Structure 1
Amino acid sequence: MKDEESGNRLGSYLRARRELVSPARAGLPPGGNRRVPGLRREEVALLAGISPDYYLRLERGRDKNPSPQVLESLARVLRLDDIERTYLLGLTAARPRAPRRKRPEHVPARVHQLLAHLRIPAFVEGRAFDVLASNPMAVALSPRLRPGQNRLRSLFLDPEEQAFHQDWAKAAASFIAGLRTTIGDDTDNPRFVELVGELALSSQRFRTLWARHDVRNLDGGTTTVHHPVVGELRLHRDKLPIDDVILVVYYPDKASDGDEKLQLLAALSQTEPTDTAHSRQADAPRPKTP
């Protein structure tokens, strides 16, 4: 990841995004002999109102300080949304780099108390989707939500997690795009380097999605999962920042089928040992994936 991101992040992003824009989407005739997916470099330059030579220098990393006007034009041509546009603007060398904080991720004591009181699935995750703490309902929903697990690793390497999601392909793409956004310019962070390297070696799907350079905020939403005991569950998800970590909660509509199934899960979880709100430090040894 370090070579790809730190060496020429702007060029890598421009190249990946232009390959995803079809000529028809850009208002160009498709042509008969196209040897590249998406737009050619000269087509991007023409539509953005810059010279082909200058655009080539941008992609090859020979000019890392394009003006905001040039970047705005490229964002328009590449059909970037607001999140992707903001990400593009942040890739230039002119953007000041925030100082890094090396302290390990820590779950505040009050959050442990909150987890213990919540009667819906709730857990705390770090920037790399490491599960730092969880309540019994979260573990009842999915054993991959135990502290020490990594949600991204489970999603790509654990068949049970893949079967858990009704739309696994959508979930996988969203998580990768969310990781891209989270990493930002923190490309030499050891945890990110370790995780991306492991998944790139182990999963072809991860490599394909990672090469797209999608970026997205992985915030709230609604998802459907398949639980091995209670069956299909339609749940809302919210992610709430607390200090340096994220509290994630899942909950159904009141008096819905999902509500009844979660109550059943709660009853079943009370018959098992109650190791509530376990946690670990982000730099503690991580268990190997089965």
Structure 2
Amino acid sequence: MDRAELAGFLRGRRERITPADIGLPAGTRRRTPGLRREEVAQLAYVSTEYYTRLEQARGPRPSREVLAGLARALRLDDAEREHLHHLAGVPPGPPPGPSREVRPSILALLDRLPGAAAIVLSAGFEVLAWNALAAALLEDFSALPRRDRNLLRRAFLAPDSKQRLLYSLSDADAFARSAAEHLRATAARYPGDPEITGLVDELLTGSAEFARLWAAHRVRGAPAPCKTIDHPRVGRITVVCDVLDITDRDQRVIIYTAEPGSPSEQALALLGVIGTQRMEVPG
């Protein structure tokens, strides 16, 4: 345990968090930037005396539970969380769960892809972000509750058989099989995450097909590079599907593009104009 480095790290992380970040008024009597020690202690569920001793390089080695509380209270990312564990002399365990926070640079990238539809998927196949063309090509995800943005639930549990075809993809069955295999690897990486374990239990209970795939113990199925989407407004669109891994967040950017000069490229361009608006003529 490196008490001096741990003390400096905790102090630096505490000072970068503003009271507004955790919903507290800034007040006029704060003598130091960031949060007070007692506020961090309260958020981490430890005593103020204990936390103060850690910042003064006088504390005992924190337990995993205390480190988890400190990481949560100080809003540490995965790299910072791992560093905290090493400073405390406690090997880091598996991350608590897949990250749902998409980096601003990735969000900006989605909007800067001309003529391409793009989404960001979590390790649990939740659609975390999308650009306007993806909403027009696949679905307006902003109109869905978070639970319904999960593509595994859509593929295996949707009550409507047409919904289970995943936006009329030509390889919907292959996608579902690949997604199930990816989920097994995800469940191994995050064995204690209640959302992932709950999703697996829900799929096993609600889908005999998923249960069959899960029993095969296969991991990391390869997605098909080309897909055809039978779009209700512009007809059939054939797209190339490229996958970019964001390894530090355990996320993937899925990019759909059409061959230059093809009818599919023209259809995508039309979707870019009409967006998610409905084409029906009112009667």
| Same fold per superposition (TM over 0.5) | yes
Give 1:269 shift. 0.6
Gaps of 5+ in 2: 1-90, 279-283
Is 1:162 matched up with 2:168? no
Q: Return the alpha-carbon distance in structure 2 between the equivalents of residues 171 and 102 of structure 1.
A: 27
Give 1:220 shift. 6.5
Is 1:249 matched up with 2:243? no
Give 1:193 shift. 0.5
Is 1:100 matched up with 2:94? yes
- Residue 267 of structure 1 aligns with an amino acid whose one-letter code is V
Give 1:187 shift. 2.8
Q: Return the alpha-carbon distance in structure 2 between the equivalents of residues 202 and 270 of structure 1.
A: 31
Identity %: 30
Q: Return the alpha-carbon distance in structure 1 between the equivalents of residues 103 and 277 of structure 2.
A: 28
Is 1:183 matched up with 2:178? no
Q: Return the alpha-carbon distance in structure 2 between the equivalents of residues 130 and 270 of structure 1.
A: 20
| 1:287 paired residue number | none
What's the RMSD between the two structures over aligned residues? Answer: 2.5
Contact preservation (8 Å) 1:239, 1:248: yes
Please tell me whether Structure 1 or Structure 2 has the larger radius of gyration of its CA atoms.
2
1:112-149, Cα deviation, whole Å (9 max, x unpaired): 21122223111111110111111111111111755731
Gaps of 5+ in 1: 1-96, 273-290
1:160-182, Cα deviation, whole Å (9 max, x unpaired): 33331223322221111122233
Moved more, 246-255 or 144-153: 144-153
Give 1:150 shift. 0.5
* Structure ranking higher on relative contact order (CA contacts 8 Å, 6+ apart): 1
Give 1:108 shift. 0.9
Give 1:211 shift. 1.3
Q: TM-score, normalised by structure 2?
A: 0.56
Moved more, 109-118 or 183-192: 183-192
- Residue 135 of structure 1 aligns with an amino acid whose one-letter code is N
Is 1:260 matched up with 2:262? no
| 1:60 paired residue number | none
CA pair 160-143 structure 1, distance change in 2 beyond 3 A = farther
Contact preservation (8 Å) 1:141, 1:227: yes
Is 1:113 matched up with 2:108? yes
- Residue 94 of structure 2 aligns with an amino acid whose one-letter code is R
Q: Return the alpha-carbon distance in structure 1 between the equivalents of residues 185 and 226 of structure 2.
A: 20
CA pair 131-258 structure 1, distance change in 2 beyond 3 A = same
Is 1:239 matched up with 2:239? no
Classify the secondary structure of the residue corresponding to 2:164. Answer: helix
